[in-house]
Chain A
Amino acid sequence: MGSQRKKKEKKKDFVKPKLKVGKSKPKPTSHTELGFKAKAIDLPEQSITKAHTSRETFDHYVSLARHHSHTTRREALTYLQSHLPEDVDSSLFTSISPLILDPTPTVRAAVLSLVRAIPSSSLAPHVHLISLYIHAGMTHLAPEVRADSSKFMLLLLKAEESDIAMQLVTRSWEKSLHCFGSLLGWDLTTSPMSGSSTGPSAHTDSIKWNNVGNATSIDGIVNAAGHLEALSLFLRLGLSDNLTREMQAQSQLPVYHADTGKHLIPRNTTAPYARLGLFVEDKSGSLSTVWSTEDTSARYQLLKPMLSGMLSGLDSGRRRGGEIGRTCKHLIDFLEKAKLEAEKLQ
């Protein structure tokens, strides 16, 4: 009967295959053969491993500077430092300058050494970008990041190309001073003339150092000496007219009038018209300069409201003695002199 045959066929599916000694296990019906036969394998290129140009590897490491692992970041930075090309383009700066705020100390150190290694001539066009990150670092919440920020500042101020320091001084004078204030725990906002600030805590002007900034004494600040050094250099650069070599050279030009220098094309060579703010979108009023900080007297005008807070802070630092005390004393002397000079001018 047909149905019998069918039944047998049906049964066959459920019969367990017998395993035999010495023979491999029969393949299940659902088994798929995966092997294949090919007469030839085509390779479009001879070498499977692709040879990268040095430029490509460099770009690769530039991108690795944003890697999530801090060791990779650090290694990338060291690679970049050892393989710096002749001309450094902006992509390097856009990727490494955020690392100024990196939470890992080794990475920050690597960035510092990398920036140091970059020739200052190629550094000059990117000073503005780097300074933005330095300012962010100086106001950063993490104390370590804050401590390291002045190293970068100092590096830029001491750079061979005097233009770099001039850019810092002219483009972000007020902001940098404020940042230094927050770095050293000084209250620069409340000048004795403008009266007390909002808020219930009343500050007495005499002992600001301890009172202000919630008991951040100079002992509590990591790298205070570095901060002070950077500040003193910054102030010296800003308040004396011809400190750099170029300025000295310029001052030796034939002078037709005492104010000739003011009417010449600005000495700032990389961004001579930056003060006009033609390409800067952000014009937030509070921190940017209202007037040009191209000349010394204008910078002094900006410094003036902060002067008392700064002096009192320095004074209490001087009393600590040691290296810091000495620096503070020099700075106080300098500021007094600058004050006298400015008053004489007026």
Chain B
Amino acid sequence: MPKRRRAALLPNNIALLQNLVRRDPGSYKEEFLVQYRHYATQKEILVTNPSGFHDTDAFLDQIGFIAQVCTCYPSDTKAFPEDLAELLSKHHTVLPVELREKIVQSLMLLRNRGVITSERLIQIIFPLLTTTNSKTFRKDIYTTLVRLLKHANRNAKAPKLNRSVQTLLFTLLESSDGVAAAPDGLWAAKLTRELWRRSIWDDPRTAEIMKQAALHGNTKVVIAGVSFFLGVDREREKATRKKRGLDDDDDSSDDSASSDDGEGGKPQIAGIKHRMGINKKSGKRARKLEAAMRALKKKEKGAGLPTQLNFAAIHLLHDPQGFADRLFSQTLSRSSGNKFTLEQRIQILNLVSRLIGVHKLSVLGFYSYLLKYLTPKQRNVTQFMAAAAQSSHDLVPPDALSPVIRKIADEFVSDGVAAEVAAAGLNTIREILTRNPLAIEADLLQDLTEYKGSKSKSVMMAARSLIGLYRGVAPEMLARKDRGKIASMEMNAAAAAGQAKKLQYGVENVVEGIPGLELLERWRKEQGLDNDDEDAAAKEAKDDDDAWNIDMSDSEESDNGWIDVESDKEYDVSDDGAGRPEDDESDEDDDSDDSDKEPDAEEQLPDAKRAKTENVVQNLMATKILAPADFQKLDELRTKAGLDKILHGGQSAAAGRHQDSVDAISLLGSKTGKADKEERMAAVMEGRQDRQFGSKKGKKDSQPHSTTNKEKARKKNFIMMIHKRDVQGKNKKSLRDKQKSLRAHIDKQKKSKRKH
């Protein structure tokens, strides 16, 4: 019975057959095989004359059908994927567009069904990316590849696939090296960049691929690689932030008003606050502000969260020294000729300088290379100056850096140059010296600081910032009058103690002790908390217990990082802490460093008292463990003593500076003084954009309108007017009044004449 019913369903179109095969693969095997054979003959026809193939639609259906159902007959359709691959690879240039697309789609389908592996699919379609001459097809393949990798890495990373694709890209880059036009390499770089941007790939191997690209023989590929290292992290961050912003919107629709535009949170809150000040106060408005504040806080928290493995590509490099050396020698040195334009060279220069700065490399040729470009006449000189600043760090030999500083000082900071030039030069020198204070001699420094009296504000400020820098780092290099009160008192104290500090090359700045600890100690004494007796230990433990569990919820810093520690475990830790006297000794060696940071507190103290304080501090460090509450108190005390300001300047701030990038525009200094005519006009024109000017009367006259009262009065019959007071009065006017009105009339006439 069921047989007959099936006979009624004899398929005569392919969609029906597909449906039937799906439901009952066994019974419809014959039909499928007939169709498969039909496909085979069609393919043969296609292969005999690929460009003149007419029956495309039917063939499309056939391919789609077989791709859909081939999982039902795996043994019969074993050759199908390879057939498609061969068709595509051999005839993709002449195949009809829709057929080409269908084949790619079918291959994708086969991969989804697990008939072919992702690796195989990539092997099939990747070569087409570079060989096809159709733009749309290329785009298709590119998106297919990206989607494929995204899909594979969706739930968990697919290391095997990633590695194989990365190897493929790597070999593509390697093999295309030295070829004049290297589309392979370019596409490899583009794909890698896209995958990095989407955070699909974030491992060192990706960075290695791009490193290979940056060292490629082809200019375009090199620039792709270089710009990857320079900008792509920012790009990725933006992408993830955007995504997160969208997620926020999904989560809570109530605060979407403030979070819908990426960085617009703050101004909006400012706007709401402003409106609160002006408008009538109501509960609703207050709630609105509260909600906005909450949203902002949430967003800030989110921004601070580390994204999943957000290592900058530069940090993931295996051999940064080798990379920087090769990049410099291959692309920038004279032997490579002028393969690159100035903009490209600046980009590469920027990357090399970032590499040197971030990893503290030594590429000594780089500084002498820069010398050539450091003249005010050089195009884009600020970029070169920024590169010079970025490439300096405290491990560069001063001998290598000082010529750069000398050159900048000679070329930029002299009497004959414009104020902006001098300011840029001084700012650059300051940036370099922040990173490596030893790179300048005292004489030159003192020459430069003379510009503090410059009439130009930007120059003056730049010179002052230089002075401020050296007050913290090495006041002895400054002229006596520039040192300032605090620094010179400190110097005197150090000299009296016989420990005159001197900057030394290669000595790293080590942190000893906790700044401002003696304040805490003193405070404890005042409060009567500090008793070293053993029998008070129990009480102290109780105190400490409270101290560990302070409520931090109201403080700005979130307490994510804190783990509650049991009170009994605390004693174990304190045993470890007791073994710290070595630290104390080293402390005594370089305590000038220490005192450098806390001069404000110590300046009033005589030497003997000071030594005592140090002892007390060390005592405290050796015997006590500071609880969060103590740190909170310490913060408070420090703020009260005004220490924070000093702490944030000077050397401690310079410690991490070598990793920062330098903004070329910031080197020019703040724009001060009067705006010139052009700028003023620009501002004026901007304000005028949608306003209309000219007299109202002129506009009115130009348009058709009814007769005005004035016109009517003028045209009125004289006889009707003669006895009116207006006219009669004219005769009765005094001579003075007549004179007045005549004068007014004449003036008016003259004015109107002047207008025309």
Q: Which residues of A contact B (CB under 8 A)?
A: 66, 94, 98, 101, 129, 132-133, 135-136, 139-143, 175, 178-179, 182, 185, 187, 189, 197-201, 212-216, 281-282, 284-287
A215-B17 contact, Cβ under 8 Å, with A139-B34, A139-B41, A141-B38: no
Closest residue of chain B to A140 (Cβ to Cβ) is: B38
* Chain B contacts for A200, CB-based, 8 A: 26
Closest residue of chain A to B3 (Cβ to Cβ) is: A215
Q: Is B12 an interface residue, CB under 8 A from the partner?
A: yes
Chain B 1-21, CB within 8 Å of chain A: the 1/0 string? 001101100111110010000
CB distance from A198 to the nearest CB of B (A): 6
A215-B41 contact, Cβ under 8 Å, with A101-B55, A199-B29, A281-B47: no
CB distance from B142 to the nearest CB of A (A): 28
Q: Is B706 an interface residue, CB under 8 A from the partner?
A: no
Neighbour of A198 across the interface among B3, B38, B43, B75, CB < 8 A: B75
Asked if residues B7 and A281 are in contact (CB atoms below 8 Å), the reply is no
Q: Is B134 an interface residue, CB under 8 A from the partner?
A: no
* Chain B contacts for A129, CB-based, 8 A: 48
Asked if residues A214 and B48 are in contact (CB atoms below 8 Å), the reply is no
Neighbour of B48 across the interface among A132, A135, A187, A199, CB < 8 A: A132
Asked if residues A66 and B54 are in contact (CB atoms below 8 Å), the reply is yes
* Chain A contacts for B49, CB-based, 8 A: 94
Mind listing 30 A-B residue pairs with CB under 8 Å? A101-B55, A133-B41, A133-B45, A139-B34, A139-B37, A140-B38, A141-B13, A141-B14, A141-B17, A141-B35, A182-B30, A182-B37, A197-B29, A198-B73, A199-B27, A199-B73, A200-B26, A201-B26, A213-B30, A214-B3, A214-B10, A214-B27, A214-B31, A215-B6, A216-B10, A281-B47, A282-B47, A284-B40, A284-B44, A284-B79
Query: With A and B bound together, what is the CA distance between A23 and B239 in angstroms?
Result: 76
* Chain B contacts for A136, CB-based, 8 A: 38, 41-42, 45
* Chain B contacts for A189, CB-based, 8 A: 33
Query: With A and B bound together, what is the CA distance between A294 and B76 in angstroms?
Result: 27
* Chain A contacts for B55, CB-based, 8 A: 98, 101
* Chain A contacts for B410, CB-based, 8 A: none
Query: With A and B bound together, what is the CA distance between A198 and B32 in angstroms?
Result: 13
A179-B48 contact, Cβ under 8 Å, with A101-B55, A214-B28, A285-B79: no
* Chain B contacts for A182, CB-based, 8 A: 30, 33-34, 37
Closest residue of chain A to B83 (Cβ to Cβ) is: A284
Q: Is B52 an interface residue, CB under 8 A from the partner?
A: yes
Q: Which residues of B contact A (CB under 8 A)?
A: 3-4, 6-7, 10-14, 17, 25-31, 33-35, 37-38, 40-45, 47-49, 52, 54-55, 73-76, 79, 83, 90
CB distance from A278 to the nearest CB of B (A): 14
The 7 A-B residue pairs with the shortest CB-CB distance, nearest first, are A199-B26, A139-B38, A200-B26, A215-B7, A201-B26, A136-B41, A182-B34
Query: With A and B bound together, what is the CA distance between A286 and B78 in angstroms?
Result: 9
A201-B27 contact, Cβ under 8 Å, with A98-B55, A139-B35: yes
Neighbour of B41 across the interface among A66, A94, A135, A198, CB < 8 A: A135
CB distance from B70 to the nearest CB of A (A): 12
CB distance from A189 to the nearest CB of B (A): 7
Query: With A and B bound together, what is the CA distance between A268 and B64 in angstroms?
Result: 38
Closest residue of chain B to A143 (Cβ to Cβ) is: B12
Asked if residues B73 and A214 are in contact (CB atoms below 8 Å), the reply is no
CB distance from A208 to the nearest CB of B (A): 11
A98-B54 contact, Cβ under 8 Å, with A135-B41, A139-B38, A198-B73: yes
Query: With A and B bound together, what is the CA distance between A133 and B74 in angstroms?
Result: 27
Query: With A and B bound together, what is the CA distance between A133 and B12 in angstroms?
Result: 19
Query: With A and B bound together, what is the CA distance between A162 and B440 in angstroms?
Result: 102
Query: With A and B bound together, what is the CA distance between A21 and B14 in angstroms?
Result: 73
CB distance from B31 to the nearest CB of A (A): 7
Contacts beyond the supplied A187-B30, A286-B79: 19 A-B pairs with Cβ under 8 Å = A101-B55, A129-B48, A132-B41, A133-B41, A135-B37, A136-B41, A136-B42, A139-B41, A140-B38, A141-B11, A141-B12, A141-B14, A200-B26, A201-B26, A214-B3, A214-B28, A214-B31, A284-B40, A284-B83
Query: With A and B bound together, what is the CA distance between A136 and B34 in angstroms?
Result: 10
* Chain A contacts for B37, CB-based, 8 A: 135, 139, 175, 178-179, 182, 287
* Chain A contacts for B47, CB-based, 8 A: 281-282
Asked if residues B38 and A284 are in contact (CB atoms below 8 Å), the reply is no
Query: With A and B bound together, what is the CA distance between A133 and B58 in angstroms?
Result: 14
* Chain A contacts for B76, CB-based, 8 A: 198
Closest residue of chain A to B9 (Cβ to Cβ) is: A214
Query: With A and B bound together, what is the CA distance between A189 and B34 in angstroms?
Result: 11
* Chain B contacts for A141, CB-based, 8 A: 11-14, 17, 35, 38
Query: With A and B bound together, what is the CA distance between A200 and B28 in angstroms?
Result: 11
Query: With A and B bound together, what is the CA distance between A101 and B55 in angstroms?
Result: 10
* Chain B contacts for A135, CB-based, 8 A: 37, 41
* Chain A contacts for B31, CB-based, 8 A: 213-214
Query: With A and B bound together, what is the CA distance between A133 and B33 in angstroms?
Result: 18
CB distance from A166 to the nearest CB of B (A): 20
CB distance from A109 to the nearest CB of B (A): 20
Query: With A and B bound together, what is the CA distance between A135 and B90 in angstroms?
Result: 24
CB distance from A183 to the nearest CB of B (A): 9
Asked if residues B40 and A132 are in contact (CB atoms below 8 Å), the reply is no
* Chain B contacts for A213, CB-based, 8 A: 30-31
Query: With A and B bound together, what is the CA distance between A294 and B608 in angstroms?
Result: 116
* Chain A contacts for B25, CB-based, 8 A: 199
A286-B13 contact, Cβ under 8 Å, with A182-B34, A213-B30: no
Neighbour of A132 across the interface among B3, B17, B45, CB < 8 A: B45
* Chain A contacts for B12, CB-based, 8 A: 141-143
* Chain B contacts for A178, CB-based, 8 A: 37
Query: With A and B bound together, what is the CA distance between A217 and B435 in angstroms?
Result: 93
Query: With A and B bound together, what is the CA distance between A178 and B33 in angstroms?
Result: 10
CB distance from B59 to the nearest CB of A (A): 10
User: Which residue among A175, A189, A213 has the maximum number of chain B CB atoms within 10 Å of its CB?
Assistant: A213
* Chain A contacts for B45, CB-based, 8 A: 132-133, 136
Asked if residues B34 and A215 are in contact (CB atoms below 8 Å), the reply is no
User: Which residue among A132, A135, A141, A179 has the maximum number of chain B CB atoms within 10 Å of its CB?
Assistant: A141
